[in-house]
Structure 1
Amino acid sequence: MNAWSDLPFDDLDESDLLHRDGEKWAAVEAGVLSSWVADMDFPTAPAVREALRRRIEGDLGYPAWFDQSGGGPLGGVFAERMRRRFGAQVDETHVRLFTDINQAMLATLQVATRPGDAVLLHTPACPPFVDVIEKTGRRPLTVPLQASGTGWEFDPALMERAAASHDPGRCRVLFLVNPHNPTGRVFRRDELEFLAELALRHDMLVISDEVHADLTYPGHRHIPFVSLSDEIAARTVTLTSGSKAFNLSGVRCAVAHVGPKAVRGALDERHGLLFGQVGVLGVEALKAAWTQGDDWLDKVTRVLDRNRRRVAERLPDGLRYRMPEATFLAWLDCRGLCLPDPDPMPYFRDEAKVLLFSGPAFGAAGNGFVRLNFATSGPLLDEKLTRMDVTSRSRH
C-alpha cells in the first residue's frame, strides 16, 4: 500500500497510461512522462460509462433533436446545473449544442462580427482561441494578466484603453476565460462587474468560456458572467462542456447558452451541417456527467486540491508558482533557470523526460513559462516533480 492510498485515483499504472492512444500519451516517446495537454489521467466516471453502454446497446440512428430552438436535449440539464451549482437562473431555450468550445466560438464570431473586428482577451491565452480568432479574420487584442502577490490580476486601465483604442464599434467582442487557463485565476465579482461595465460602455458582445468552473477550489467561488444582470445576460454567450471536469474531450459535446436574440437567430438560420452536429454519444455522456457525476467529481476535486498543494511543496529548484484557484493546471515560471531558449518545454522534455505545454505557445506573455497538468496520481506527480527538480538543480 502506497503513501497516497487515503485518496482515490492514486493507483494509476504508468504502463497502462503509456499504452493509451489519446493525444496526451500518444505524443510521448518511451521513458517520457506526459503532463501537457489538458486531459486528466483518471478513469471515466462510472455514470458516464454506464450511460454510454446503454446508448450503444440502444438506438444509434439519427437523433430527433437536430432542431435546437427549444434548447435541445441539454437545455434543461444545463439550466438546472447552473441553478444548483452556481445559483444562476438561465433560460434553457437559449442553449445550443456544438462539438466543442472552439467550434461554438467560431460560429459565434462568424454570425456576430465582421472580418477585421477586434476581440479583446487576456494573455497568456490558450492557443486554440487565438487560432480561431485569427483564422476567422478577426484580430486578437490582448491585455496581459500580471503577477500580483500570490495570484494574477488584470489592469482595468489597460483594459479600458485597449477597448477604446480602435475605431468606434470595431472592438466588437470581449472574450473572457474564467476560470482562466493557464493561470487558474477565478475572477472576483468586482473584477467581473468592471468587465461587464466595459462591455456595456463599448457595446461589446461577451463570449465567456467557463469550462473549468466545476473545478473551483474551496475558498474561491465561480460567478457565471451571465448572472451579473439581465442586461449583461442579453449580450453574453456562455460556453462550457464536460471536457475538463469530466475528462470528456473526445466525445465532442459542448453547450453554448446564447443570450443575444440576434445571435441565436443567426445561428439557428445556419443550423444543421454548416457548423457540424453533435452525436448522440456526446449528448448522453454530458447528460450523465451533469446529472449523476457529482460524487465522482467531488472525489476528483479532492485529489486535484491535494496535487496543486503538492506542486507548491515540491516546487523544482529555480521555478516560481502561484497556486491556481481552479483548474488542474500549474503555470510555472522558469525564468530563474536562465535558459537560453524562451521556451523551457524542450529542456524539460529532453533533460527531465517530462513533457509539459510550451509557455510561448500562449503568446509572448508565456515566454519563460511552461504549463504542467497535475491531474494524475500522487506517485506519478511526485516522479515528474523529482525529475524536474534534479534537472533544474543541475543548472546551478
Structure 2
Amino acid sequence: MNGAPARGVPGFDDLDLDWLRARGSVKWHRPEPDVLPAWVADMDFPTPPPVVAALHEAVDRRDLGYPDWPDGSPLRTAFAKRMAERYGWAAPAHRVREQTDLIQCLQLVLHLATSDGDAVAVQVPNYPPFLATLRTMNRRIVPIPMEDTDDGWRMDLAALDTAVKRSACRALVLVNPHNPTGRVLTYDELTELAAIARRHDLLVISDEIHAELAYAPHRHIPFASLSDDAARRTVTLTSATKAFNLAAIRCAVMHYGPDRLLALRDAQPPDLYGTVSPLGVIATLAAWEHGDAWQRDLSTVLDRNRRRVHDMVRDRLPQVRHHLPEATYLAWLDTRPLGLTEPPVEKVLRDGRVLLDGGDPFGPHAEGFLRLNFATSQQVLGEILGRVTEALGGQER
C-alpha cells in the first residue's frame, strides 16, 4: 500500500475487491482480471442508500407505466430549487428540459444551433467524447489550450478572444469545473469570459456536471448566473450522475437561456431525441433531495484521496507535473519530463497492470499525460498508486 492509511469512512473505504470485479460496469468488466482500473470517470462507491431506497420503492409498487408529466418531469423544479439553494442562481424551471446524458445534450445543442463546418471553441485537453462529437458532426474545432503555470492550470482568455474572432466561432463549449485538469474558474475569469462571449456573440454551452465536486475554498459559479446577457446566451448542461455515481440511470437536464433555441427545441417532434426513464428521474430526485449526507462523506473521501495522489507524485515521482485538482475526482499527470519512449498509458498497463486514460483522445498536446480516477477506497487507491509509481520508475520511500 502507498502511504499510511487514514481512518476509513464506512461505505467508501470498505470496498471488497471481489465485489468490484464482479460488477458489470465497463470500468471493472473490460480490463483483464489482474488489472486495476482507474480510467473511465465512474466512482467505485456503491449507489447512495437514498437512491437505492427510492428505486426499490418504485419497483415494489409495480408501477412502471407511463408517467403523468403534462408540463415536464419533476426534475425541472428540482433543478431550479437546487441551483437557487447551492449557487444563488434563479434558474427558471420552465426553461429546463430532460435528456439522457450530457453527450446527447451537447449533440442536441450543436444540431439545433450550429451547422456543418461551423467553428466551435473548446478547451483542450478535454473530455474525449466531446471532442469526438465535434469531429463526427463536422464542427470545426478551435482549440483553446489550458496553460500549465506554477499556480496551476489556467484558461488562456486572451487566446480565446483572438481565436474566436479569427475563426468566426459560433459557439464555445465550456467545461467548468474542467475535465481533466480539475480546474474551477473564478468569478473574475468567468466575468472576462462572459465579456468575450458578448463581444463575439457566442452561444455558450456550459458543461457543469462536476459542479458539486468542487473542494473548498474553491466555489463553482454557474456561467448563466453571471448576468442577464450570460443567461440569455447560455445552455447549461448537468446531471446528478457524476456527484452521486449514477451513470447508468441515463438522466440529465439542460437549461436553455436563448429564447430562440428553446423554441426551436420545443418545435421538434416530442420524442425525436428520446425521453428519460421515470426511474432515472426518481433516482435523480432522491439524490438531490436526500443525498446530501452521503455527498458530504464522499467529499471527505475524495479530498483525502486527491491529496494522497498529489503527495505520491511529489514524493516519489518528482519529475511528473501535477496540480492538486480543485474539483472532480480526476488527476491529470504530465509524464513528459520522464522522457518515456512509449505512451504512458501503455507503459503503466504493461508494467503496472493499471488501466488509466490519457493521451491523444484528450486533444492536441495531451500526448504524455495520464488521467487517474481516484474515486475508490484508500486500500485500492494505495495499490493503484504503488503500481503506477513502480511502472514509471518512481523513487523509493
Q: Please classify the TM superposition score into its range, dividing by the shorter chain length.
A: over 0.9
1:266 deviation in Å? 1.0
Picking from 218, 237, 250, the partner of 2:216 is: 218
Q: Which residue of 2 aligns with 1:242?
A: 240
Aligned partners of 2:329 and 2:374 also within 8 Å: yes
Q: Which residue of 1 aligns with 2:391?
A: 391
Deviations 1:278-321 (A, max 9, x none): 11111111111111111100100100000000011112424221
Q: Which residue of 2 aligns with 1:42?
A: 45
CA–CA distance in structure 2, aligned partners of residues 327 and 226 of structure 1: 21
- Matched residue SS, 1:165: helix
One-letter code aligned to 2:118:
D
One-letter code aligned to 1:311:
V
CA–CA distance in structure 2, aligned partners of residues 366 and 384 of structure 1: 22
Deviations 1:59-98 (A, max 9, x none): 2112222x5xx45321110011011111111101100000
1:333 deviation in Å? 0.8
Q: Which residue of 2 aligns with 1:378?
A: 378
Q: Could you list the runs of 4 or more consecutive aligned residues of structure 1 that deviate by over 4 angstroms after TM superposition?
A: none
Aligned partners of 2:96 and 2:255 also within 8 Å: yes
RMSD (Å), alpha carbons: 1.6
Picking from 66, 69, 88, the partner of 1:62 is: 66
- What pairs up with 1:276-295 in 2 under 5 angstroms? 276-295=274-293
1:102 deviation in Å? 0.7
Picking from 29, 32, 35, the partner of 1:29 is: 32
Are residues 350 and 235 of structure 1, via their aligned partners in 2, closer, same or farther at CA, if it must alter by over 3 Å? same
One-letter code aligned to 1:23:
V
One-letter code aligned to 1:357:
D
- What pairs up with 1:30-179 in 2 under 5 angstroms? 30-58=33-61, 59-65=63-69, 70-166=71-167, 170-179=168-177
Aligned partners of 2:8 and 2:378 also within 8 Å: no
One-letter code aligned to 2:53:
E
Q: Which residue of 2 aligns with 1:368?
A: 368
Aligned partners of 1:150 and 1:323 also within 8 Å: no
CA–CA distance in structure 2, aligned partners of residues 87 and 148 of structure 1: 31
Q: Which residue of 1 aligns with 2:194?
A: 196
CA–CA distance in structure 2, aligned partners of residues 77 and 365 of structure 1: 40
Deviations 1:202-246 (A, max 9, x none): 111110000000000011010000100111101110000012100
Number of matched pairs? 388
Picking from 306, 312, 315, the partner of 1:314 is: 312
How high is the sequence identity, in percent, across the aligned residues?
Answer: 47
Q: Which runs of 5+ in 2 are unaligned?
A: none
Deviations 1:139-168 (A, max 9, x none): 1111100111141012222111111112xx
Q: Which residue of 2 aligns with 1:353?
A: 353
One-letter code aligned to 1:25:
W
CA–CA distance in structure 2, aligned partners of residues 275 and 212 of structure 1: 24
Aligned partners of 1:192 and 1:225 also within 8 Å: yes
Check if 1:275 corresponds to 2:278.
no
Q: Which moved more, 1:378-387 or 1:129-138?
A: 129-138
CA–CA distance in structure 2, aligned partners of residues 308 and 15 of structure 1: 24
1:14 deviation in Å? 1.2
CA–CA distance in structure 1, aligned partners of residues 269 and 286 of structure 2: 25
One-letter code aligned to 2:181:
T
**TM-score (norm: length of structure 2):** 0.95
- Matched residue SS, 1:186: coil
Q: Which runs of 5+ in 1 are unaligned?
A: none
CA–CA distance in structure 1, aligned partners of residues 393 and 108 of structure 2: 47
CA–CA distance in structure 2, aligned partners of residues 308 and 38 of structure 1: 14
